[in-house]
Amino acid sequence: MGKLTNKVALITGGNSGIGLATAKLFREEGARVIVTARSMETFEKAQKELGQYFDVVQADVSKLEDLDRLYTHVKNNYGKFDILFANAGIAAWMPTTETTPEFFDDHFNVNVRGLYFSVAKALPLLNTGSTVVLTSSVVSIKGFANNSVYSATKAAVRSFARTWTAEIPVDQVRFNVLSPGPVETPIQDKMGMTEEIKQGLAAMMPIKRQGTAEEMAKAALFLASSDSSYVVGADLFADGGFGQI
């Protein structure tokens, strides 16, 4: 028996990186797994990568009509579900003096608005005793030059977990946050991180290396499963000590 046997899990942004690794691990632990991919290109890639044992849905969390379509699909095919890993997000760095309204809006629309309504629209479909895991980041508590917008979106995610824990009965839904440190995923290349920058980050960390998507998946599994039954409203820093000293 796996830790998620007979559970239905939805992972937004499950087509690559941490989301993809978590989808695979949740499946290994017995869950039926639904994953979202933002574009048709990533949707087709995820279908090919994950195969027939996963339910892949094309949905951009920043678009409310996509979320409505996603949850209609969940309701029609599963009735209700047990685990939401609100993981979809984008990341880029830009100096404040160069930040455009479009850059700002793109990040807040996906990372904040998209996550917020991913959760809000899920609540009527979550079984009693469900778990919700929100992906934040170590940058929610650390200041990095040229990273003001992305960092602010991740601080908002931490705030959501606190307020939802105060608002929604814990025996109904248990909210927690996963805050990764630097992790080797495709999003780093999209951010324009060179090998020199990656090595520099690793050198700053007590563990002296970046994390892996598989390590983040194990942390997400802990928060999503009954192993963390006494963990509520918490922020788990899976960051190699980066934000802790």
What is the distance between the alpha carbons of residues 131 and 152, in angstroms, rounded to a whole number? 24
3-state secondary structure 147-190: CHHHHHHHHHHHHHHHHHHHHCCCCCEEEEEEEECCECCHHHHH
Beta-carbon count within 10 A of 226 CB: 12
Task: For residue 83, give the nearest of 49, 35, 39 by alpha carbon.
Answer: 35
* Catalytic residue ranges: 150
CB 136 within 8 A of CB 179: yes
With residue 120 as reference, give the H or E element that holds it: helix 115-122
